[in-house]
Each structure stands twice: as C-alpha cells, then as structure tokens.
Homo-oligomer: A and B are copies of this chain.
Amino acid sequence: MPKNRYFWIMHTFEELSTLFSETFEKTHFPKEPQTLYEPNNYFLSLGGKRLRPVLCLMANELFGDIHPDAWNVATAIELFHNFTLIHDDIMDKAPLRRGRQTVHSKYSESTAILAGDVMMIRAYEYISRIDLALVQRILELFNHTAVAVCEGQQLDMDYEQRSNVTMEEYLEMITQKTSVLLAASLQMGGILGGGSYGNLDLLYQAGKKIGLAFQVQDDYLDAFGDPEKFGKQAGGDILANKKTFLLIKALEDARGGQKEELDALLAGNDPDKVNRVLDIYRSCKIDDWAIRLKHQFLNEALRHFDDMAVVSKRKLPLKELAQQLVKREN
C-alpha cells in the first residue's frame, strides 16, 4: 500500500460502509448478564446506514491513510448514536424503529434505560483505547458533543409542549440534536488524519450544514415523500403536531383564513387533517421553500469543503455523499 502523502488509498462511501460494518458487526458485549446484553445486541442487529462512523473515516482519508484508531473512534460514535436512539425511543414512547420493536417495547423500560447506559459506557471504552497522543482531544470533543445531543433532545421535548417555537429555536435544537454529532464525526476523522485547525473547523461547519440539510429532507419526506419509498405513512409528523421546518414556516407564512384553518387543524382531530395541512403547505409554497432551504444548506456545506486546503480530488467522496444524503427518498 503506497504510503506517499499524495497517494494514500481512498474509498467510496459504500466501500467504507462495508469495511466498517465488518469491524462493527462483531459482538460488542459479553454473554452475561444476558438480560442486559441481549437487548443491546438485538438493537445493533437492526442495522442502519452507519453514516456517522463512515463520515469519520472519510474525513480521515482527506488527509491520509486511515489511522488505526479511526476504527475505535468510528465504533465509539456509532455506539453513542445507538445509545441515544435507545433512550430517545423511551422518551418518545416509540414502539418501532426501522420497522422492528424498540428495546423498551420488546423488553422493558428498565432494561432499555440500563442497556442504553451500558452502550454509552462501551463507547467510552473504545475511546479509552486511542493512542495517548490523541485521546484527550478526542475525548473532549466526544464529551462536548454528547452533552449537546442531550441538550438537543431536551429542547425537542420542551418544544413539543409549546405552540410558539420560532425558526431560530428550531434550527438551534436540530443543530444540537442532530447536526453536532455529524460535525463531530467529521472533525474527529480530521483530527485522526492530522488536519490543520483551519481544515478541522471547516469540517465541523460542513457537518453542521449537512445535518440541517438532512433534517429538512427528513421533514420534507414525512410530508411529501412517496410512502412506498419512504417506508412509513406520509404525514406522521402532521398527525402528531410535530414541530418541523415545514410547520414552523407555515405558521410564520400563513395569513388570514389559512392561518385560522391551520390553527384549527392543529387544535383538533379532523379526519382529513393530513391532506388539509398539506394543501395549506402547498398553497403557501412551503414545499418549494423546503427544497430551496435544503439546497442552501447543502451548498454551504459544499462551499466549506471547497474552502479546505486539501487536493480537490480527495474531497469528491465526501461531496458526493453530502449530495446523496439530501437526494435520498427514504
């Protein structure tokens, strides 16, 4: 394998995803107590895109061959992400995740609390294996990110109880709950690759924008996606009065009779609620606005990649991935 600074090996998202899965899909937990670890193994077996660890590996490859510790960091990130899913599912009372039972509904709430706890500690175990030259920097960033994700989840729950959430507040919440983990995944990869401070900052900013674009697409698909491709009934967010980019923008933009109709629909349980809200979205052109907003975030992310002092060819896999993420239909 050529070690020359200009000829290190680079991989596509699919290749890194396969490589990561091969490492990740070994068992992370001992056999006993089976009542604690079987739920964790079950949850990890539900799969997922493994997006965050692959972002870490890709960012590492911007600067050089994959650092041996990148596998530890990527694993820690994915375990941490799964910990947040297990606990969020309890708080959201979600019965299903990826079409399968959530941990608390398959086992019990107590089991899900403890399984999540031990999943998080396991993430820190992978962090503790990192080379001494890097461990403190990664650990600090990891902690900082973990706190932000918890704060984002709390804000999300707080906003469910409020009717007057502003776009600024929603952006801040999504940034904490979703974007900073993508940003930190990229930045950790950059740290492992030995990126300069300037490049590391740009990676973080790009990750935040990718997260926002990702969330706009998520909110858009829930309302306007093809239910067959999206894999769940469209309009779930509308039925649950969930704060989304679309709803907050519609509440800002709707005027007169439309504003009154939207308020009434949110307050009631009209059997045709989904379609009537979608009509308002369309007549206020919220759908077009969302697509523009998504591309705005995407373009900002791409510009951050452009601004990095790295050979352009190296940036291609990450830029392609960012574009795919906001084009996805599920």
A interface residue numbers (CB < 8 A to B): 33, 35-36, 87, 90-91, 109-111, 113-114, 116-118, 120-122, 124-125, 127-128, 132, 135-136, 139-140, 143, 146-147, 150-151, 153-155, 157-158
In this complex, what residue of B is CB-closest to A127?
Answer: B139
CA distance A50 to B153 in the complex (A): 30
Residues in B neighbouring A111, C-beta threshold 8 A: 154
Q: Are B113 and A113 interface neighbours, CB within 8 A?
A: yes
Q: Are A114 and B147 interface neighbours, CB within 8 A?
A: no
In this complex, what residue of B is CB-closest to A154?
Answer: B36
Q: Are A143 and B121 interface neighbours, CB within 8 A?
A: yes
Residues in B neighbouring A124, C-beta threshold 8 A: 124, 139, 143, 146
Residues in B neighbouring A143, C-beta threshold 8 A: 121, 124-125, 128
Copies of this chain in its oligomeric complex: 2
CA distance A158 to B35 in the complex (A): 8
Known: A140-B128, A143-B121, A143-B128. Contact between A114 and B150, CB under 8 A? yes
Known: A91-B110, A91-B113, A139-B128. Contact between A36 and B118, CB under 8 A? no
Known: A33-B158, A35-B154. Contact between A118 and B132, CB under 8 A? no
9 further A-B contacts with Cβ under 8 Å, apart from A33-B155, A114-B150, are A33-B154, A35-B157, A111-B154, A114-B154, A118-B151, A124-B146, A125-B143, A127-B139, A135-B139
16 CB-based A-B contacts, threshold 8 Å: A36-B150, A36-B151, A36-B154, A87-B117, A91-B110, A91-B114, A113-B113, A114-B157, A120-B120, A120-B121, A121-B143, A121-B150, A124-B124, A125-B143, A132-B136, A139-B139
Q: Are B135 and A147 interface neighbours, CB within 8 A?
A: no
Among B116, B121, B158, the residue within 8 A (CB) of A146 is: B121
Residues in B neighbouring A158, C-beta threshold 8 A: 33, 35
CA distance A110 to B120 in the complex (A): 17
Q: A305 CB to closest chain B CB, in angstroms?
A: 29
CA distance A116 to B120 in the complex (A): 12
In this complex, what residue of B is CB-closest to A141?
Answer: B128
Q: A141 CB to closest chain B CB, in angstroms?
A: 9
CA distance A140 to B135 in the complex (A): 12
Q: A155 CB to closest chain B CB, in angstroms?
A: 6
Q: A104 CB to closest chain B CB, in angstroms?
A: 10
Residues in B neighbouring A117, C-beta threshold 8 A: 87, 116-117, 120, 150
